[in-house]
């Protein structure tokens, strides 16, 4: 004989409370998303020869290269500086994302 668990959802959990909880999570995620969109996180390399800016999602939004970083005989060094600066900023962006996203939102952004 089958047992009935009142409401059929979460062992009788109040549907209104569940919907309210979902709305609250949605609001928290929207707020976190806006904060990540507006963030400007800098990473630099070579003692400031190369500086990049990313948003809270890690998307590159700006780059500054000082003239002394440009050596036509050693383009590889400049490429390495850009990568290092970006990786620093992207790592900070990931840390920020982990801080501002509500619990349970992992993998959604």
| pLDDT tens digits along 40-79 | 999 999 999 999 999 998 999 999 999 999 999 999 999 9
Per-residue confidence (pLDDT) for residue 11, from 0 to 100: 53
Read off the pLDDT band of 81 (50, 70, 90). Answer: very high
The answer, yes or no, to whether residue 102 has pLDDT greater than 80, is no
Closest CA to 17 of 7, 31, 30, 4: 7
The answer on pLDDT for 84 being more than 70 is yes
Would you put residue 67 in left (φ > 0), alpha (ψ -120 to 50) or beta?
Answer: alpha
3-class SS at 87? helix
Q: Which CATH number fits domain 15-100: 3.30.1310.10, 3.40.190.10, 3.30.470.20, 1.20.120.1200?
A: 3.30.1310.10
Contact 40, 53 (CB under 8 A): yes
């Amino acid at each position: 004989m089958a047992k009935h668990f009142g409401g059929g959802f979460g062992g009788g959990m109040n549907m209104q409370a569940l919907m309210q909880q979902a709305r609250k999570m949605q609001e928290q995620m929207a707020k976190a998303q806006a904060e990540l969109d507006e963030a400007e996180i800098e990473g630099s390399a070579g003692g400031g020869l190369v500086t990049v800016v990313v948003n809270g999602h890690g998307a590159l939004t700006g780059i500054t290269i000082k003239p002394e970083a440009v050596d036509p005989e050693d383009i590889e060094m400049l490429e390495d500086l850009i990568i290092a600066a970006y990786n620093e900023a992207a790592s900070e962006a990931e840390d920020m994302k982990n801080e501002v996203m509500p619990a349970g939102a992992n993998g959604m952004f």
